[in-house]
């Protein structure tokens, strides 16, 4: 029998303060689609970076097609026949598709006739691309195609895909799966990293489950239910899935957007086009959408970092606020948690007390005559830390010393404690472990129950369906008409995300 395509034995990798991979074994057979499952922080990304030569293991062996190898660098990995499509694309915005692909091919002879080969390979695998287009003009799904085509041009025997569907619409996911199945059948195995259990069950023939750096199980995904897989991943009995939220009592509209339009301030941005929606107190509006469709611009328009053309475009508790900056909007009760923790929502090199001051100085009265009230500032940060179970040494701890989950708990708690009228939060649980994500979801739901209007902008459809009372989709800067969550199906939302304005009225089982 042929030896397995790839065998990892005892791979170990230590970072300062973190054992990312602890004696990991993994086997990928030929013609196999093999899942690598685990939570954020389980060590999956580190492992595949080792396979692809981006890092070297501290201990352990890599056996490729029966022979022991030490993979020096990505170019070496590619020569061996290993290709990788990263979660965060290695693409150059200002360059064309052909130039981007050429940069991934180190051998000059690989670049001969590149233009034609790009067209040929991309079309034959159902992922057509135009080599002269510049990357900054492309959607996220199209960008992923470039990454895949770049790998395919080198005839890989193993294709590693790191969380490929987190940026795709449901329809694009099906297209990707068809491509992957065909590749596996034709002799290119797939190592598929994901935490999306239903997808893994549908696509993969084998799975290796990791948790906190170690392998905890090998299994066949189709033989398990999603719940069983999830409990292996977090190694605990899952709480029963949260009930679909009961319809809230109709409250007064606390946040109203009236034909909000905003021209993008750069070539690469997305213009907002006539967005109108109303969010009532006690309601959670979920805004779904694939990255790059205006979420960042919408967040900035809501928080006041970008001013609107007319004051009435953004109305908070009946007060027109479109012309107000973040400071004045906070006075009205607007609270915001932006997508990016580091450098936007928080200053990584400053203490938690100082970060608390950043958004709370007005509503929590932390200033007297221009001087910072250090005692009150520390007390405020302490109360956030206590109430939201932030694991840290104290208010004086520097923000970057916290884990992502704990920092996010602090940033959400900072806003919630200010008794907002409106909370807008973008990507609330991106990159967080399940425990932190749960805590944040609970905080959001509790806040909404207390009467605030909450807007959740997220790329994670599971999260949107979990939290929202109504769902709207942002695509190319436009917002769809919000639909009640019980009327929404994955397909319908997926079509809206893909930009199809007219969604079928016949709700299909989600």
Partner 1 sequence: MLSLQPRGYVSILWSWGSPILALVLTALISGAIFRLMGRPPVLTVYTFLVSPLFAADGLAALAVKAAPLVMMGVGLSLAYRANIWNIGTEGQFTLGAIAAGGLALALPDAPGWALFPAMIAAGIVGGALWALVVAWLRTGFNANEILTSLMLTYVAQYLLVYLVTGPWRDPFGFGFPQTAMFSDAAAGSRLVEGSNLHLGLVLAPVIAASAWLVLEKTVLGFQLQVLGEAPRAARFAGFNENRLIWLAMAISGGLAGLAGMFEVTGTQGQLTTTSSPGYGFTAIIVAFLGRLNPLGVVPAGLLLALTYLGGDAAQIDLGMSNAITGIFQGILLFCLLGADVLILHQPRWRPRHVKVPGAGT
Partner 2 sequence: MTTILVNLLVSVMAAATPLLLAAVGELVVERVAVLNLGVEGMMLVGAIAGFATAHETGNLVLALCASLAAGMLLSSVFALLTLTLQANQTATGLALTIFGRGFSALVGAGYVGIAAPTLPHLHIPALSDLPVLGPVLFGYDPLVYLALASLAAVAWFLARTHAGLIMRAVGDQHDAAHVLGYKVIRIRYLAVLFGGAMAGIAGAYMSLAYTPLWAQDMIAGRGWVALALVTFAAWRPFWLLIGAWLFGGIMYLSLYVQGLGVPVPSAFLSALPYIGTIVVLVLISRDRRRIALHRPAMLGRAFNPTG
Write out the E strands in 220-337.
Answer: 253-262, 272-280, 284-288, 314-316, 319-320, 334-337
Asked if residue 111 binds partner 2 (CB under 8 A), the reply is yes
Nearer to partner 2, 148 or 314 (CB): 148
Instruction: Report helix, strand or coil for 268.
Output: coil
**72: its two tokens:** 């020096």
Contact between 311 and 322 (Cβ < 8 Å)? yes
Asked if residue 17 binds partner 1 (CB under 8 A), the reply is yes
- Shortest distance, position 92 Cβ to partner 2, whole Å: 4
Asked if residue 90 binds partner 2 (CB under 8 A), the reply is yes
Asked if residue 114 binds partner 2 (CB under 8 A), the reply is no
Q: What are phi and psi of 37, to 5 degrees?
A: -105, 150
Calculate the alpha carbon distances from 151 to 279, 380, 440, 463 in Å.
45, 51, 38, 32
Asked if residue 108 binds partner 2 (CB under 8 A), the reply is yes
Nearer to partner 2, 13 or 196 (CB): 13
Nearer to partner 2, 108 or 241 (CB): 108
Asked if residue 95 binds partner 2 (CB under 8 A), the reply is yes
Footprint on residues 305-334 left by partner 1 (CB under 8 A): 305, 325-330
- Shortest distance, position 57 Cβ to partner 1, whole Å: 6
Name which of 197, 192, 253 is nearest 35 in CA terms.
Answer: 192
Q: Applying CB under 8 A, what is the total number of residues that bind partner 2?
A: 25
The terminus-to-terminus CA distance of the chain in angstroms comes to 43
Q: Which entry of partner 2, partner 1, none binds 330, CB below 5 to 8 A by partner kind?
A: partner 1
Q: Containing H/E element for 207?
A: strand 206-211
Footprint on residues 247-276 left by partner 2 (CB under 8 A): 265-268
Render the burial of 266-297: b for 16+ CB within 10 Å, e for the rest. Answer: eeebbebeebebbbbbbbbbbbbbbebbbbbb
Q: Containing H/E element for 303?
A: helix 295-303
Q: Which entry of partner 1, partner 2, none binds 394, CB below 5 to 8 A by partner kind?
A: none
What's the DSSP call for residue 487? G
Asked if residue 427 binds partner 1 (CB under 8 A), the reply is no
What's the DSSP call for residue 109? G
Q: Where does this chain bind partner 2 (CB under 8 A)?
A: 49, 54-55, 73-75, 86, 89-95, 99, 102-104, 106, 108, 111, 265-268
Q: Where does this chain bind partner 1 (CB under 8 A)?
A: 10, 16-17, 56-62, 68, 70, 303-305, 325-330, 336, 338, 340, 343-350, 354, 357-359, 361, 367, 370-372, 374, 398, 400-401
């Amino acid at each position: 029998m042929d030896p397995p395509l790839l065998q990892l034995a005892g791979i170990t990798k230590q970072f300062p303060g973190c054992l990312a991979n602890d004696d990991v074994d993994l086997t990928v057979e030929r013609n196999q689609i093999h899942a690598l499952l685990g939570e954020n922080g389980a060590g999956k990304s580190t492992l595949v970076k080792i396979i692809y030569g981006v890092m070297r293991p501290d201990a352990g062996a890599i056996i490729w097609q029966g022979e022991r190898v030490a993979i020096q660098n990505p170019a070496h990995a590619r020569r061996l026949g290993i290709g990788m499509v990263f979660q965060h694309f290695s693409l150059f915005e200002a360059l064309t598709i052909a130039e981007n692909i050429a940069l991934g091919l180190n051998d000059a002879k690989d670049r001969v006739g590149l233009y034609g080969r790009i067209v040929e390979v991309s079309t034959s695998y159902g992922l057509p691309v135009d080599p002269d287009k510049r990357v900054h003009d492309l959607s996220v799904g199209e960008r992923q195609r470039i990454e895949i085509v770049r790998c395919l041009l080198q005839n890989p025997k193993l294709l590693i895909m790191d969380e490929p569907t987190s940026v795709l619409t449901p329809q694009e996911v099906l297209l990707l799966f068809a491509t992957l199945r065909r590749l596996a059948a034709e002799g290119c195995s797939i190592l598929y990293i994901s935490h999306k259990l239903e997808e893994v069950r549908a696509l993969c023939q084998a799975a290796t489950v990791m948790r906190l750096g170690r392998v905890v199980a090998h299994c066949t995904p189709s033989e398990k239910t999603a719940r069983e897989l999830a409990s292996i991943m977090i190694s605990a009995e899952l709480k029963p899935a949260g009930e679909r939220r009961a319809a809230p009592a109709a409250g007064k509209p606390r946040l109203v957007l009236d034909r909000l339009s905003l021209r993008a301030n750069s070539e690469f941005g997305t213009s907002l086009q006539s967005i109108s929606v109303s969010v009532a107190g006690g309601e959670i509006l979920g805004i779904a959408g694939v990255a790059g469709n205006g979420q960042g611009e919408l967040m900035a328009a809501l928080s006041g970092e970008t001013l609107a053309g007319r004051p009435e475009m953004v109305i908070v508790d009946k007060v027109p606020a479109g012309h107000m900056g973040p400071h004045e909007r906070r006075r009205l009760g607007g609270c915001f948690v932006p997508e990016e923790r580091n450098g936007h929502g928080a200053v990584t090199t400053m203490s938690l007390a100082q970060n608390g001051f950043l958004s709370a100085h007005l509503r929590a009265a932390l200033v007297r005559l221009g001087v910072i009230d250090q005692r009150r500032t520390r007390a405020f940060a302490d109360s956030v830390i206590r109430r939201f179970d932030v694991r840290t040494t104290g208010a004086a701890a520097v923000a970057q010393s916290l884990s992502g989950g704990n920092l996010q708990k602090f940033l959400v708690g900072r806003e919630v404690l200010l008794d907002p009228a409106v909370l807008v939060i973008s990507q609330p649980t991106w990159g967080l472990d399940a425990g932190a994500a749960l805590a944040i979801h609970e905080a959001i739901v509790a806040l909404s129950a207390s009467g605030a209007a909450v807007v959740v902008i997220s790329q994670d459809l599971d999260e949107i369906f979990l939290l929202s009372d109504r769902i709207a989709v942002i695509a190319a800067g436009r917002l769809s008409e919000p639909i009640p969550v019980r009327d929404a199906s994955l397909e319908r939302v997926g079509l809206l995300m893909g930009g199809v304005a007219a969604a079928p009225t016949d709700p299909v089982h989600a």
